[in-house]
């Protein structure tokens, strides 16, 4: 998977930075500097074009694994927190601090300039697994948890769910929701899957389920990178790629609540004011965030065997541009296109979870 930003030399390879020992938390309650609790002042742009500023406040746990973002020049990234990790946490994870305590570990992501798969992928996954176990041992206290991932982060969480969570009822029952975006996940044509016990979300009242999609602004062209499950047939059952519209989980078209950060710690991250799906017309506001309230519609469609979330502007909203090429679709901004819907979904699912399983109960 290619990085969301370009490669830039941040250190002399002959003088590597010291490797931290144990879990390094990018975001965690109690940290002196926590990008997941950055200012949440937001300019809300409604369908009629009017705007107003709101402040949001936190309220139950989220475990976030960021996408491939490092600019380091190693096979696997170190656990040193660089500006890119801080920026992506602000962009994709901080709005969830309105509704949950956000835990985001640093992990040894695979650097695209090196070999992918094999030992490098195993190293990346083991670092996420270690952080997950540390979270369970030291911070979870048997609370419900929402799993949040994008791109490579979703791939890490997919493995974590398949290997550690789905087979273990005591842990599985703590999962309120999983949002694994920008990842091809196979489900049966009858909707079963993507895991043995944890299935796709079919409504906002379904607990312990998965939301996943790959967004495109146009029908995916031949050679598109996302939207097709591999393998297409598993155990004799035809498979398709998971697509759940967070604005209409029960099917049909829904209206999106899109959230974008207008000021980032670094501009070398897609979704900032100089990159991303808005092209040369990025969103601007006097506040750190801008919300497009129901100015985009989305629906899951099947186009040439690919299941994708087709996103279209309405009411004069800015057009969206596939980046960096049409084959990628809107992958770089998958989370932010529906971030308001996802935050609302986490809030409603967490509320329902706490009614059924009060904090600390099995």
Task: List, for residues 194-219, the tens digit of each pLDDT value.
Answer: 899 999 998 887 899 999 999 999 99
Q: What is the pTM of this model?
A: 0.86
pLDDT at 173: 94
Q: What is the pLDDT of residue 358?
A: 62
| Residue-level pLDDT at 360 | 53
pLDDT value at residue 324:
84
What is the structure's pLDDT at 228?
Answer: 84
Place of tokens 């941040």: 10
Domain boundaries, the chain: 40-356
pLDDT of residue 58: 45
pLDDT in tens, the chain (362 residues): 333 332 222 223 333 444 455 899 999 988 988 999 866 666 666 666 665 555 544 447 999 999 999 888 889 999 999 989 998 999 899 999 988 999 999 999 998 755 555 899 999 999 999 999 999 999 999 899 999 999 999 999 999 999 999 999 999 999 999 999 999 998 876 667 789 999 999 888 789 999 999 999 999 998 999 998 665 544 555 678 899 999 999 888 899 998 888 766 555 565 444 455 666 566 677 788 888 887 899 999 998 889 999 999 888 877 788 888 899 999 988 999 999 999 999 989 988 888 887 655 55
Q: What is the pLDDT of residues 247-298, one digit of tens each?
A: 999 888 899 998 888 766 555 565 444 455 666 566 677 788 888 887 899 9
């Amino acid at each position: 998977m290619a990085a969301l930003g370009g490669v830039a030399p941040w250190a002399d390879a002959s003088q590597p930075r010291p490797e931290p020992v144990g879990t390094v938390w990018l975001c965690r309650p109690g940290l002196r500097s926590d990008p997941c609790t950055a200012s949440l002042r937001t300019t809300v742009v409604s369908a009629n074009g009017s705007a107003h500023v709101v402040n949001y406040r936190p309220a139950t746990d989220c475990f976030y694994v960021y996408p491939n973002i490092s600019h380091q020049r190693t096979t696997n990234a170190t656990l040193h927190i660089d500006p890119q990790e801080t920026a992506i946490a602000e962009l994709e994870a901080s709005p969830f601090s309105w509704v949950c305590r956000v835990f985001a570990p640093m992990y040894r992501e695979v650097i695209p300039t090196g070999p992918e798969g094999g030992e490098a992928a195993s190293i990346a996954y083991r670092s996420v697994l270690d952080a997950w176990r540390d979270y369970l041992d030291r911070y979870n206290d048997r609370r419900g948890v929402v799993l949040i991932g994008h791109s490579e982060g979703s791939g890490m969480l997919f493995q974590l769910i398949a290997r550690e969570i789905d087979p273990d009822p005591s842990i599985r029952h703590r999962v309120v929701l999983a949002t694994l975006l920008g990842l091809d996940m196979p489900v049966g044509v009858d909707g079963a899957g993507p895991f043995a016990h944890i299935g796709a979300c079919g409504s906002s009242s379904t607990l312990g389920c998965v939301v996943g999609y790959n967004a495109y602004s146009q029908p995916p062209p031949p050679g598109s990178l996302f939207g097709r499950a591999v393998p297409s047939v598993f155990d004799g059952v035809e498979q398709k790629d998971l697509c759940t519209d967070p604005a209409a989980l029960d099917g049909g078209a829904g209206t999106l609540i899109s959230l974008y950060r207008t000021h980032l710690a670094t501009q070398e991250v897609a979704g900032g004011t100089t990159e991303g799906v808005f092209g040369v017309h990025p969103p601007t506001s006097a506040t750190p965030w801008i919300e497009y309230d129901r100015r985009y519609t989305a629906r899951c469609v099947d186009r040439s065997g690919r299941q994708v979330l087709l996103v279209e502007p309405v009411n004069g909203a800015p057009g969206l541009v596939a980046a960096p090429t049409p084959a990628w679709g809107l992958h770089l901004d998958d989370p932010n296109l529906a971030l308001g819907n996802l935050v609302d979904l986490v809030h409603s699912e967490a509320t329902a979870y706490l009614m059924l399983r009060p904090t600390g109960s099995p």
